[in-house]
Structures are given as structure tokens and as C-alpha cells.
Structure 1
């Protein structure tokens, strides 16, 4: 979050309206609902995890054991178990 001067952002009419309620104080203006991205959407982390989990499920279906997958992917036994038994 960064500081922005209201005079540089808002039209004069809107600034005058806001000044009737608040003058010289900080105001937090939240993002519009629905405009915020979910975790990992911008960086690609969400897709990378989805792809990794699908790979784990495929290898499990192909006969790899949970212990082998745990070692291969560097994840805890219980984490692999959650992945392979979830609906995904």
C-alpha cells in the first residue's frame, strides 16, 4: 500500500465531496470485490502446484507407492496421501 495525494487521483468534485467527511486524515480504500486475484494466480504458483499434484496422482495410479512419491517430491507421507486421495 502506498501513499497517494488525493488531489492527484480524484476529480475535484469527488475530492470536495470526500472533504465533507474527512480532512487531513488517512483513508483506506479497499479493492473492488472480485477484482482481487487468488493466491498464486499472478506468479503461476497455483498452476505449478496443480500440475505437480496431477503428476503425483498419475504416478500413484501407475503403481508408485506413497513412500516412493514422498521421497521423490520431498513431501511428507501425509501430504502425498492427501493429494492422492483427494478428488483433485
Structure 2
């Protein structure tokens, strides 16, 4: 998201109308629903996090303790616990 000067993109009539409500402030204009994208749909971040979580769960099942996993992946122990629980639940759902 970037800053755009309203006077550069809006007709003066609309700008003056908006100034009746807010002046000299930043205003966020949200995207239309049909233009919104899901988080991670334009990057590989979602896939990378899933691969990391799979590795964490695999290493946990092989006997590596949560404290060591937290240090290795630069995460809190609570985050490791959350990942393990999520992956464990995913495994249970895949079996049924």
C-alpha cells in the first residue's frame, strides 16, 4: 500500500465533498470485495511456512524437544506448541 495525493487522482468535486468529512488526514479506501486476494496468494510465503511447519512436526515426532525446535527455528516455545498441535490435528483429519 502506498500514499497517493488525492488531488492527483480525484476530481475536484469529489475532493471537496470528502473535505466536508476529513481534511489534512490520511484516509484508507478499501478494495472492492471482488478485487481482494487471499493472504499468501501472490507470494510463496504460505507454502514456505507450511513446509517449515511440516519439518518442525516431523522433527518433534523424531524426538527433538520443543525447546530445541524453538531455538533452531527462532520461534517461541508457545509458537512451536501451536504448530505441533495444528499439525497433529491435520494428521488426525487426514486419517478420517
- After TM superposition, the score normalised by the length of structure 1 is 0.62
Which residue in 2 is equivalent to 1:72? Answer: 72
Q: CA deviation at 1:30?
A: 3.5
Q: CA deviation at 1:32?
A: 3.7
Structure with greater Cα Rg: 1
Which residue in 2 is equivalent to 1:31? Answer: 32
Contact 1:67 1:77 in 2 (8 A): yes
Q: CA deviation at 1:74?
A: 0.8
Q: CA deviation at 1:37?
A: 1.6
The 3-state SS of whatever aligns with 1:52 is: helix
- Tell me how many residue pairs correspond in the alignment: 71
Which 5+ residue runs of structure 2 have no aligned equivalent?
Answer: 19-28, 91-96
Question: Which residues of 2 match residues 41-80 of structure 1 at below 5 A?
Answer: 41-80=41-80
How far apart in 2 are the matches of 1:29 and 1:47? Answer: 27
Contact 1:41 1:47 in 2 (8 A): no
Superposed CA deviations along residues 12-40 of structure 1, whole A, max 9, x for unmatched, are xxxxxxxxxxx82159684243x422222
- After TM superposition, the score normalised by the length of structure 2 is 0.57
Structure 1 segments, 4+ long, off by >6 Å, are: none
